[in-house]
Structure 1
Amino acid sequence: MVSTVHAPSTVSIIRKRPAGAGGAADAHFWRKTARGKLQRVVREHYLRPAADFAPPPVLPAGLAWILPDTNAVLHQFDLLASPDLPHPLLVAQTVLDEVRHRSLPLYNKLRTLIDDDFAPSKSTGEHKLKRGWTVWNEALEETFLERNEGESPNDRNDRAIRHLASYYTAILRGVNPSSANKRQKTGSSSASSSSSRAVDTDSSSDAPLILLTDDAANLALARKAGLRTLTAKEYVASLPDSVQHSLVDLLAVGGSGLERDGNATGAASGSGKRKGAALYPEHLPQSVLQAGVKAGKYVQGHFNPSQYNFREASVNSASLPKPVLLAGLESMNRAVAGDLVVVEVLPESEWKSLGEEVVDEDAKQDDPDAQSLPEGGDTTSAPAVGSLHEPDALMLKPREVQPTGRVVGILRRAFRPYVCTLDRASLPPSALTSSTSVTVLASPVQRTLPRIRLLTRQAAHLASQKFLVSIDRWPITSRYPEGHFVRVLGQVGSKEGEVESLLEEWEVPYRPFSSAILSCLPEEGETWVVPPKGEADVKGVWRGREDLRDEIVCSIDPPGCQDIDDALHAKRLPNGNIQAGVHIADVSHFVHPDNPMDAEAASRGTTVYLVDKRIDMLPSLLGTNLCSLRPYVERLAFSVIWELDDEANIVDVRFTKSVIASKEAFTYEAAQRRKDDASLNDPLTEGIRLLNSIAIKLRAKRMAAGALNLASPEVKIHLESSEQSGPVDVEVKELFETNLLVEEFMLLANISVAERIYKQFPQTAVLRRHAPPPKTNFEVLQDVLAKRRGFTLDVSTSRALADSLDKCVDPSFPKFNTLVRIMATRCMLSAEYFCSGSLPASQFTHYGLASPIYTHFTSPIRRYADVLVHRQLTAAISGQPLHAGLQTKAWVDKTLEVVNKRHRGAQGAARASIEFYVALAIERREEAAQKQAGENGGKVRAEAFVIRAFRNGLAVFVSQFGLEGLVTFKRDNEYDAESYEISVPKDASGEKVTIGVFDKVEVEISVEKDKNTQRGKVVMHLIQPVDSRGM
């Protein structure tokens, strides 16, 4: 498509010879250079005759092609992607280009959908049907349309799609469309509509092509042109009842332009059935928002709802030193977690302080009959249990007035399919025995999200299920956004349903590997072995490789590890120095750029580890076999070998492709026992001891440089068996000295490789950084430590912070230091992958490791970033050409954006899996306690530590289970915000007990299902120093 930044210029078609060569659309415009001179810019758009492309096949009787416009794809994708859709899709290049511009994830889904098989039993001559057929209309002389003077790009694209519908309707009917085509080339929107009627097209039900649009203007013009055109709702209604039933719930609410009122962010008055007073202000237009941000009138940032109070949220903006507080639902103005919002900061006289109460919307929810859902109700849910892994979005001091604002618009929505359960309180009794459509509320499992209004025919079935819902819009007249059903995930509480739910919630790709991907694996399969050296190596596997099979190499991993990425060795050299080697699986030997397996690995980004299963980045043949550095077999590796002196100073480092033969695969505990066994002095044991002695010195150097020794709550789940996967118990993970041994050498390898690839590729090196956190992130923790324990937390540098954390020790409270380190971790920013050419070298630093440069090289089986680093290192040491993408900053940036997203999703899914199994383990303990009828009345009790105080509750951390939870009181208590403590009555006498942050308490823990939402949640009650069950 000809694209200019000015009014469209004249386009001429230049036909070239010999016959069959395409033409070129020659577009030009004038632009002013930086020096003020006019420069003529010429762009050519090459066209080819339609005869060069195979047309879509004529379908069997009863089938018609669906040609969706961009609007239909953007808003009705769940409908189009349904396997129950009875017609294949005809996808225009115009639509592909627009969707790619609007939403890259949706574009990728659309491309995948096009390639899926459609009705395998059906065929059309020589053509086996796929779900979609792509028409490259922007490249065809007969279907390319230039943009008319004064015509908007959107109107031009709609006209191109209508013309394509007219053209292929004629082709499929066997009519020559050339006469109409000539008139289309120069006609206006209205003229082109009239000319379309010259083609033998009609709107009859047997037309071979259906134009699907929810855009009112496009719909009217298409029908005027005599095209068979339907809205998504009309299309579903035209289908047999049996098909309608499975598709009607997939219809996006307000998808039709006829149902919109023009507010881009969804300020329509419902579906046309519900009108009332506006509860929220309208969002400003995008152009006004962008101009306001540029002028400094507004600030922009991502919307972060509070996990303690559903009526509060914050927005972090780079232009302000502190987060902007959003107090009240009206100020939050229909934003949801992750939205990129624009905020107007109020005058200082209107600034507010953070609320002093826990406000749990779930406890207040009381919905009447769903057919008359209240518009004035509350919308979002606060959590009953959270996680210390995530930073608190509102790390603000109580009672301290904060910059306060209100959302005036949304630049980019973060809408996605959300995992939900049905709110049974919204389910009318009639829905249990009827299949008619009813309006209900779906409650997202992410408790900081609002309930979603849903029109469905299957309410009775959904009442016991977890399912996906997409938000379509949020009218200004409704407290609830409106959405549509996507698909069922599984029974509430079942392991299968819960696992699939958390994978969907964290957007983890988990589809099976396709045949195209599996075809990229070595044809020998499980029988593949490293070939002998010499003439037998016909594929050149040994070319450029060093033979390290005689080195005493071993691996040290967690129990049950199958995808062994790394192995190590160490030995004394004749000159008295030490040789240490890290050997990493040579994944890049098997995964080649630009093939289907590489593309899938790039899309998945990382392997995801759940409690009872693993979602692999690569097919298991590679991950757990051919690439895995198993013991007693030869494997291809990428080795980093250092020469070090006895003080762990690096004398030399080299990088080489290699072949190794690991001598043993240890668990951390087994390696620790081997190292500590004084009766063993064999080369393998001595090598482990040598590695450990160097690791201790390497760690000391890092700590002296300012590396942080932080902490996170980690627990280990004991399962019944790999088949049943039921939790037997949960315990805090035990760390061994060998854990640190492996960690230090992996860090050393990553740093050494980062230096090498940056030297070779200063503009495109794949690196990893951990930005220093803003000092304001630590203000609350500093204040709490000073007032509650008398400790000073110096955050001026990472070294100062590390020293301060080391001093936070309470002899009477052994776990105090660990708790402080966990809370300090919450103040940090997340590490991320980046392209070296995108940032100045001063911003490469890894704050937590106190390293000026860092990357990931050591886990290519489970991280795609490491695969990219392997390719760059290979090119750096061998002189082999580097993949073109890895030489382009834009490509590296785009690829790492996906990898960063997948990495965050993998971490979230792993934590959610642990939390689910911890809850099951608590239930099992509770059942066991009830059978014993012990002194605690059948309840689970545990030691907890207060991490936050409110007027009506406490946030506590239970280290035994790695859980953060809320203890709430039915009434408010005396609250001292300055001292971070509350005073609660001890008993009926009125005597009061003071409880504050860092205090140790005892809690009673149980798992309860919300009677309305069916969501399981961990409930905690205070037992000591007071009993909160009656408070």
Structure 2
Amino acid sequence: MLFSKAYVRKTKRGSVIKVLKEHYLRDDIYCGVPGCQRCPEHTTTLSAEPRQTTAVRSPHYIVPDTNILYHQIDVMEHAAFVDVIVLQTVLEELRHRSLPVYNRVRALTAEPARRFFVFCNEHHRETFVQREPEETPNDRNDRGKPFNRRRPIRRAVEWYSAHIDSKRAVVLITDDRANRAKAKDAGITALSLRQYVESLSGFPELVDMVAAVGGDDDDDMDASAADKKFVYPEHLSPTQISAGLKSGAFHQGVLNISAHNFLEGSSMIRVNNEEVIVQIIGRENLNRGVQGDVVALQILPKSEWRSGVSTVLEEEVVEKDDLEEPTTDAATVDKTLDKALQEPATEQELKPTARIVGIIKRNWRPFCGTIDASSVHAGSTSTQMQSVFFWALDKRIPKIRIRTRQAQSLLGKRIVVAIDAWTKNSRYPAGHYVRTLGEVGDRATETEVLLLEHDVPFAPFSPLVLSFLPEEGEAWVVRDDLHLANREDFRSWDVCSIDPPGCTDIDDALHARLLPNGNYSVGVHIADVSHFVKTDNAMDLEARRRGTTVYLVDKRIDMLPGLLGTNLCSLRSNVDRLAFSCLWEITPDAEVVSTRFTKSVIRSKASLTYDEAQARLDDPKMTDSVSMSIKALNMLAKKLRARRMAAGALTLASPEVRFRMENDSQDPVDVELKELKDTNALVEEFMLLANIYVARKIYECFPECSMLRRHPKPPATNFEDLGKALEPFGVKIDASTSRTLSDSLDAAVDPNDPYFNKLVRIMTTRCMMQAVYFCSGTLAEPDFWHYGLATDIYTHFTSPIRRYADLVVHRLLAASIGYDKTYSSELTDKAKVKEMSDVLNYRNRMAQQASRSSVELYTNLFFKGKTVVEEAYVIRILKNGCSLLIPKYGVESFVYAAPVPNQPPLLALHPTMNALTGAGPDGEVVIKLFDKVRVQVTVEEAGVAAAQRSKLVLRLVEPNVPGMCPVVETSTARPLGGAATTPARTTRPAKKPKRK
């Protein structure tokens, strides 16, 4: 049976074409029910004997509607849900509404044990329903108009009920009351999701997991969920927002909540083709925006602009746990707080402020955290439903009100909660429980939490992904008869690798040898990962999804299966390996004479650590071929570096540390700053050179679709605070070009403090923009500029084992040199390369944040049970305290002006000096930026009632302000896990040096 539909549409060029769509209907599509007498036998995932419940007494299959899968996917992914029929109509609507949810459903249908069966109802003659004129897809799929009884979802369930034998039933699951009523009229069994899960025995947690989305079935929601005394401004409609964005009245931006203050936000917007950072201050102006939301902003009048001096504020300190309607006192606290945040400033200090008028795209995700113990009703039973507050570990996320029957058992546990809604008359968003992770403070649990919080995929590689590994496994070797075609053989060359100790994913090696003409042949050889990972297979798609290898203190989350990353692709010494080589002829003055690229086979002569390579450099007696190669490379690298510095490349800094761990317990027993040697710079210099020359090559061949990397110039406003702070030292920051900034940093020297220059460079790093991947066809050439490296073009080529962007560049380069003549069309699709770049930028950002969180976790473990006094530097002045950096440990934390909560502050902000002042024994104490102080460092434990992790607490010791540090002592407690003499090793999860 054939349906034909003709319509006209307008093309991008403005012409009108007629389109004819044909829709074929069949009557032999298998229903999926085992033992069906009306369908020919097929293999199916559904059970022949599905479960029964108290609500549905007969064995039954369930059919969820679109909204159930869209809003309640967390519940549907629970192991309790099996024997589910997913309609084609539902899948198609899901794909248009939310691709991530669609992919999660498809994953369920691909897992045989879950027994999710897809039924093609849109192509079955008896279940197809034609769309009426002027009928929306939602009307067609679910409710239907009064004169239409048989909508696709209900029609499919009705057909199933008549089609299968009477011993088994089919149940429609929908939260739409009108839809259930229509189903009942048609003789269909229909239940809400809450009704269904309450009838399931053995899964009490499912009731907590049902999302509160404001549907018709939410009659039993707590009446106190709405705060009648607090009302946010109404969000504008999408039409109003769109009109305002076009007219310039509104601006689009991504909301970033301050890590120090939940009532301060900011966003970067474009005003008159310039990027401007605006502040969003106060609960009303934030207007239910959540960290990461894409919002519509309206700039406030200049009379409401405020200074950039921030306040550290934690919500739990100032708010009551108002599960019922908030008291007048709570409302007064809000008004007082908002007013305090908006204190006026001088004309020079004013910065633009804005308010959120609407939400363009929500960034809600599952959040990890804990139940607020003070919100749990005393004496409540394990089965009593109650409203409690959830604190997310991310301090930028507001409290979330959830309803649960497990309140008592969830105390002291890390759990996952999702936001469902945030109505204008509710002070806090409403959400639902998803799952429990483990005990607060447990190291494995806390590590899983930080991976989830930063959206790091860490599940084991699936059997499908692993099926694309070489069949020989670890026995795979380079074979001349299979692998030398179109490759050059460099196995006789003196190639070596230089990496951190313990590194197993060696993706780069180098060589240098003197040519007869006095020049040098120099090569960077990179693991040929693209030989093993072919475009668009399951392994490639998984690597693309992960984006990058994530390095934690105690382990790493690999982008590729270990067989490749640490074995077959790793350029180990004394084994043949496939490589992609970048070769130069370079003069002794480090001038590049020629460049070429080739696929190759190499055999590394040595896998050296930085210390081992440095020893060869420093020892004049080491004259073997590998040592002489390293010395030549070092000589050339210094000249290349000098030329880069002269061009304006920046040398920045960060307080990176590494931990020494006990061999048995893996507890941290020491912290040390990372030391950079000449060999670090040697490797970095040639990796940079290879990345630049590869970028030029792929851009020459693929000017519209090359994956490149840029570092945008930072706005001058980013350096205002730093510039003011450096004025008393006679240092002027000029960031108009990277060269002027580099000169400014070189001049930032305090003869009395050798650490001063590094501190300035650390603070300058925080004024920079993030370097990002981009598609060459989406920007003009001047915007390709890499500000930090002072180069006109750049990409990532040298780390394909741990970065997917490098793998894409390898494929582009292979096509550029004619090695790959059948490359994927995806490489030349500008839209797809741009989309891929955006995903990789996100994954890279999340990986960096996860690494920092891991360091923070282990820093807290290191200081657990200790009290130490150390030197620190003031790096930021705020209204109620200052941020300090402890160089010895790379630790940054906050000292409050009021060390005891709710007590008068002992330090006060001096606005004109941008300093904190207080009373000392010998007169006034003044604390300014860059001042050196001494602080007491302790760890505040996270007990059962604590929402956050254990946190580092700093108290000011010197200068002496009475009351700032009641007790000053240095602990002599033994390190964690045993005596200080316990053998230890340095934990460094094989992290490569940064390649900028």
Q: Report the TM-score when normalising by structure 1.
A: 0.85
Separation in 1 of the partners of 2:710 and 2:521? 29
Deviations 1:354-374 (A, max 9, x none): 456433333335537x56776
Q: Is the 2:581–2:600 contact (alpha carbons within 8 Å) kept by the matching residues of 1? A: yes
Alignment of 1:685-724 (within 5 A): 685-721=627-663, 724=665
Query: Counterpart of 1:969?
Result: 897
Query: Counterpart of 2:772?
Result: 832
Aligned: 1:253 with 2:232: no
Query: Counterpart of 2:958?
Result: 1024
Q: Is the 1:231–1:256 contact (alpha carbons within 8 Å) kept by the matching residues of 2? A: no
- Shift in Å at residue 403 of structure 1? 2.1
Query: Counterpart of 1:386?
Result: none
Q: Is the 1:270–1:475 contact (alpha carbons within 8 Å) kept by the matching residues of 2? A: no
Separation in 1 of the partners of 2:651 and 2:468? 42
Alignment of 1:333-372 (within 5 A): 333-354=287-308, 357-367=311-321
| Residue in structure 2 matching 1:677, options 596, 619, 628 | 619
Give 1:858's aligned amino acid: T
Give 2:920's aligned amino acid: K
Structure 1 pair 108–41 and aligned structure 2 pair: CA distance change class (3 A): same
| Residue in structure 2 matching 1:1009, options 941, 953, 976 | 941
Structure 1 pair 45–560 and aligned structure 2 pair: CA distance change class (3 A): farther
Give 2:48's aligned amino acid: P
Q: Is the 1:371–1:428 contact (alpha carbons within 8 Å) kept by the matching residues of 2? A: no
- Shift in Å at residue 115 of structure 1? 1.5
| Residue in structure 2 matching 1:113, options 108, 113, 138 | 108
Q: Is the 2:312–2:880 contact (alpha carbons within 8 Å) kept by the matching residues of 1? A: yes
Q: Which moved more, 1:474-483 or 1:495-504?
A: 474-483
Give 1:252's aligned amino acid: A
| Residue in structure 1 matching 2:185, options 201, 206, 224 | 224
| Residue in structure 2 matching 1:593, options 526, 535, 558 | 535
Q: Is the 1:309–1:357 contact (alpha carbons within 8 Å) kept by the matching residues of 2? A: yes
- Shift in Å at residue 984 of structure 1? 0.9
Q: Is the 1:380–1:450 contact (alpha carbons within 8 Å) kept by the matching residues of 2? A: no
- Shift in Å at residue 225 of structure 1? 3.0
Aligned: 1:73 with 2:69: yes
Q: Which moved more, 1:309-318 or 1:269-278?
A: 269-278
| Residue in structure 2 matching 1:493, options 428, 441, 445 | 441
Separation in 2 of the partners of 1:580 and 1:314? 48
Q: Is the 2:468–2:539 contact (alpha carbons within 8 Å) kept by the matching residues of 1? A: yes
Q: Which moved more, 1:813-822 or 1:140-149?
A: 140-149
Which consecutive unaligned segments of at least 5 residues does structure 1 have? 1-14, 16-22, 119-129, 177-199, 261-267, 382-393, 927-938
Query: Counterpart of 1:409?
Result: 358
Separation in 2 of the partners of 1:271 and 1:214? 19
Give 1:233's aligned amino acid: R
Deviations 1:231-264 (A, max 9, x none): 2212212222x22x0311111113524559xxxx
Alignment partner of 2:270: what SS? coil
Alignment of 1:780-791 (within 5 A): 780-786=721-727, 788-791=728-731
Q: Is the 1:380–1:449 contact (alpha carbons within 8 Å) kept by the matching residues of 2? A: no
| Residue in structure 1 matching 2:132, options 123, 148, 173 | 148
Give 1:416's aligned amino acid: R
| Residue in structure 1 matching 2:859, options 918, 924, 931 | 918
Query: Counterpart of 1:897?
Result: 838
- Shift in Å at residue 379 of structure 1? 14
Alignment partner of 1:569: what SS? strand
Query: Counterpart of 2:408?
Result: 460
Structure 1 pair 704–414 and aligned structure 2 pair: CA distance change class (3 A): same
Aligned: 1:960 with 2:902: no
Give 2:260's aligned amino acid: Y
Structure 1 pair 33–571 and aligned structure 2 pair: CA distance change class (3 A): closer
Query: Counterpart of 1:842?
Result: 782
Structure 1 pair 420–1028 and aligned structure 2 pair: CA distance change class (3 A): farther
Give 1:299's aligned amino acid: H
Separation in 1 of the partners of 2:379 and 2:231? 30
Q: Is the 2:390–2:401 contact (alpha carbons within 8 Å) kept by the matching residues of 1? A: yes
Q: Is the 1:92–1:135 contact (alpha carbons within 8 Å) kept by the matching residues of 2? A: yes
Separation in 1 of the partners of 2:214 and 2:244? 30
Separation in 1 of the partners of 2:600 and 2:647? 33
| Residue in structure 2 matching 1:948, options 853, 861, 876 | 876
- Shift in Å at residue 771 of structure 1? 1.4
| Residue in structure 1 matching 2:826, options 870, 885, 888 | 885
Aligned: 1:419 with 2:419: no
Query: Counterpart of 2:260?
Result: 308
Q: Is the 1:757–1:873 contact (alpha carbons within 8 Å) kept by the matching residues of 2? A: yes
- Shift in Å at residue 812 of structure 1? 0.8
- Shift in Å at residue 825 of structure 1? 1.1
Query: Counterpart of 1:196?
Result: none
Query: Counterpart of 1:482?
Result: 430
- Shift in Å at residue 113 of structure 1? 2.2
Q: Is the 2:227–2:427 contact (alpha carbons within 8 Å) kept by the matching residues of 1? A: no
| Residue in structure 1 matching 2:228, options 251, 261, 276 | 276
Query: Counterpart of 1:571?
Result: 513
Q: Is the 1:48–1:140 contact (alpha carbons within 8 Å) kept by the matching residues of 2? A: yes
Alignment of 1:745-894 (within 5 A): 745-786=686-727, 788-877=728-817, 878-894=819-835
Give 1:281's aligned amino acid: P
- Shift in Å at residue 690 of structure 1? 0.6
Query: Counterpart of 1:733?
Result: 674
Structure 1 pair 651–246 and aligned structure 2 pair: CA distance change class (3 A): same
Deviations 1:868-923 (A, max 9, x none): 11111112212511112112122222222222221111111111101110111112
Separation in 2 of the partners of 1:829 and 1:75? 36
Query: Counterpart of 1:288?
Result: 240
Identity %: 45
Separation in 2 of the partners of 1:618 and 1:378? 52
- Shift in Å at residue 811 of structure 1? 1.2
Alignment partner of 1:499: what SS? helix
- Shift in Å at residue 216 of structure 1? 4.2
Aligned: 1:448 with 2:425: no
Q: Is the 1:435–1:458 contact (alpha carbons within 8 Å) kept by the matching residues of 2? A: yes
Query: Counterpart of 1:95?
Result: 90
Separation in 1 of the partners of 2:27 and 2:762? 64
Q: Which moved more, 1:733-742 or 1:474-483?
A: 474-483
Aligned: 1:518 with 2:466: yes
Query: Counterpart of 2:456?
Result: 508
Give 2:517's aligned amino acid: N
Q: Report the TM-score when normalising by structure 2.
A: 0.88
Alignment of 1:534-683 (within 5 A): 537=481, 540-683=482-625
Give 2:946's aligned amino acid: T
Q: Is the 1:626–1:635 contact (alpha carbons within 8 Å) kept by the matching residues of 2? A: yes
Q: Which moved more, 1:44-53 or 1:343-352?
A: 44-53
Give 1:1001's aligned amino acid: V
Give 1:295's aligned amino acid: S
Give 2:141's aligned amino acid: N
- Shift in Å at residue 55 of structure 1? 4.0
Query: Counterpart of 1:126?
Result: none
Query: Counterpart of 1:29?
Result: 8
Give 1:412's aligned amino acid: K
CA RMSD of aligned residues (A): 2.7
Separation in 1 of the partners of 2:83 and 2:650? 56
Separation in 1 of the partners of 2:330 and 2:4? 57
Give 2:288's aligned amino acid: R
- Shift in Å at residue 170 of structure 1? 5.4
Structure 1 pair 411–623 and aligned structure 2 pair: CA distance change class (3 A): same
Which consecutive unaligned segments of at least 5 residues does structure 2 have? 37-46, 52-59, 335-342, 899-903, 966-996
Structure 1 pair 913–25 and aligned structure 2 pair: CA distance change class (3 A): farther
Separation in 1 of the partners of 2:534 and 2:770? 30
Separation in 2 of the partners of 1:884 and 1:825? 38
Separation in 2 of the partners of 1:1013 and 1:27? 63
| Residue in structure 2 matching 1:992, options 924, 932, 935 | 924
Q: How many residues align?
A: 922
Deviations 1:751-808 (A, max 9, x none): 111111111112211211111122222222122222x322111111111111111111
Structure 1 pair 34–166 and aligned structure 2 pair: CA distance change class (3 A): closer
- Shift in Å at residue 1013 of structure 1? 2.1
